[in-house]
Amino acid sequence: MKIGMLTGGGDCPGLNPAIRGCVYRALGFGYECVGFLEGWKGLAEGNAIPLGLTEVENIVDKGGTILGTSRYNPFKKEGGPEAVEATIKKFSLDALVAMGGEDTLGVASKLFQRGVKVVGVPKTMDNDLSGTDYTFGFDTSVTRALDACRSLIDTGTSHRRVMVLEVMGRHAGWVALFTALASGADWVLLPEFKADPAQMVNHIKKVYQRKKFGLIVVSEGAEFQDDESEKQVKDEFGHIILQKRCLGEKIARYVESETGIETRSSVIGHMQRGGAPTLFDRILGLRVGVKAAELISEGKFGMMAALKGQEVLAVPLSDAVNNLKVVDRKWHELAQVFFR
Ligand code: F6P
């Protein structure tokens, strides 16, 4: 058996442990492994490297992905799916492991419907993938954001300022919500719930009177006033590129003008997507990687390795790609408990 692996979409800590887990388990089965570079692009172009013990034995603690990644979508390219299938044939691959989020697994699911023998490994720092309780990348990203909050609390308290931290999270606010809950922030803005600027400002004024400081965590995709015109640049999967929105800064300017309190904003951005994976993400990455190789050995194609409770189980790829897992009211209400 020969299996191909790729990592697609935004990178995140945990991908290298997942590659390691998959290669080690596959070698145990006597399979040969190759890694395609830069996601689906590498598969369409036949750009691959061998993946053996030497390549993966020292990567469990490394962020990013040794295979490289891209947001290349073969279904948006003339002859893209056919090019992918030709590479599979050329390399005599018996199976494919696609590691990625909704977009990458969406491509995997479509290829499976065309007859490609593929299994999935779910990843996303946004934690917005359905069909799995958590994805690796999330724990590390929130941990990084918590470090940033710790710094903002120190400098903000010293200067008697309100501090705004903008975190990633395009369609789902899990990163912002967990960052706010675990840092003791005073307000959070999420893409799932339309912001009430007046309510936020009143609350910040109240908090500031008590502690001469305030911390607001904002998800880059949150809705705040009307700025539709700025949201137009899209990637190959149709996602709006939010980096130029500068939402955190807009909120800081708004809070400062409404309260008269000096306010500063920071964007953690891609810093929260790199660096060594946390313990949780290393173990989860290894487990889902191992499971992916086992799914292949069992012939369970069209499935992905998903964390359900304490177990890593097989769930259909279609479960992951049909709906995004977004923050629900119950979680939002939990955050409100701490805004006093
Ligand atoms: O992978 C998801 C994500 O991390 C989003 O939270 C963010 O909006 C986006 O990636 C950024 O993408 P890029 O790295 O292409 O700028």
Cα 69 to ligand 1 centroid, rounded to whole Å = 12
- pLDDT for the residue 230: 54
Q: Residue 119 in 3-state DSSP? A: strand
pLDDT digits (tens, 9 = 90+) for 151-209: 999 999 999 999 999 999 989 999 999 999 999 999 999 999 999 999 999 999 999 99
Res 2: pLDDT = 98
Same domain for 190 and 114?
no
Q: Could you tell me what percent of the chain has a pLDDT over 70?
A: 98
Residues 215 and 254 in one domain: yes
pLDDT tens string 71-94: 999 999 999 999 999 999 999 999
145 and 190, same structural domain? yes
- Quote the crossing angle between the two packed helices 138-159 and 279-297, to the nearest 10°: 160
Same domain, 6 and 90: yes
- 126 part of the active site: yes
* Residue among 171, 246, 273, 327 to mutate when testing ligand 1 (max atoms within 8 A of CB): 273
Which residues, in sequence order, are bridge partners of residue 170? none
Expressed in angstroms and rounded, the spacing between residue 309 Cα and the centre of ligand 1 is 27
Burial class (CB in 10 A: 0-12, 13-18, 19+), 240: middle
The model's pTM: 0.95
Residue 89 lies in a domain: yes
Are residues 170 and 264 located together in one domain of the fold?
yes
Beta bridge mates, 165: 217, 266
Confirm whether 12 is domain-assigned: yes
- Residue 9 CA, closest ligand 1 atom number: 1
**Catalytic-labelled residue, pool 11, 103, 126, 139:** 126
Q: Compute CA 84 distance to the chain's CA centroid, rounded to the nearest angstrom.
A: 25
Atom of ligand 1 nearest to the CA of 126: 6
CATH of the domain at 102: 3.40.50.450
Question: Containing domain of residue 126, as a range?
Answer: 2-136+277-322
Residue 10 covered by a domain: yes
Let me know whether 212 and 192 are in one domain. yes
- 296-302: average pLDDT: 98
Query: In CATH, what number is assigned to the domain containing residue 222?
Result: 3.40.50.460
Query: What pLDDT score does 118 carry?
Result: 98
- 191, burial (CB in 10 Å: exposed 0-12, middle 13-18, buried 19+): buried
- Secondary structure of residue 249 in the 3-state scheme: helix
Q: Say which DSSP state 241 is in.
A: P
Q: What whole-number percentage of the chain has pLDDT above 90?
A: 92
Report how far ligand 1's centroid is from the alpha carbon of 172 (Å): 12
How many residues are given for the chain? Answer: 340
Q: Which amino acid is at 311?
A: E
Domains identified in the chain, total number: 2
Beta carbons within 10 angstroms of residue 173's beta carbon: 32
pLDDT tens for 222-245 read 988 766 655 567 788 877 777 778
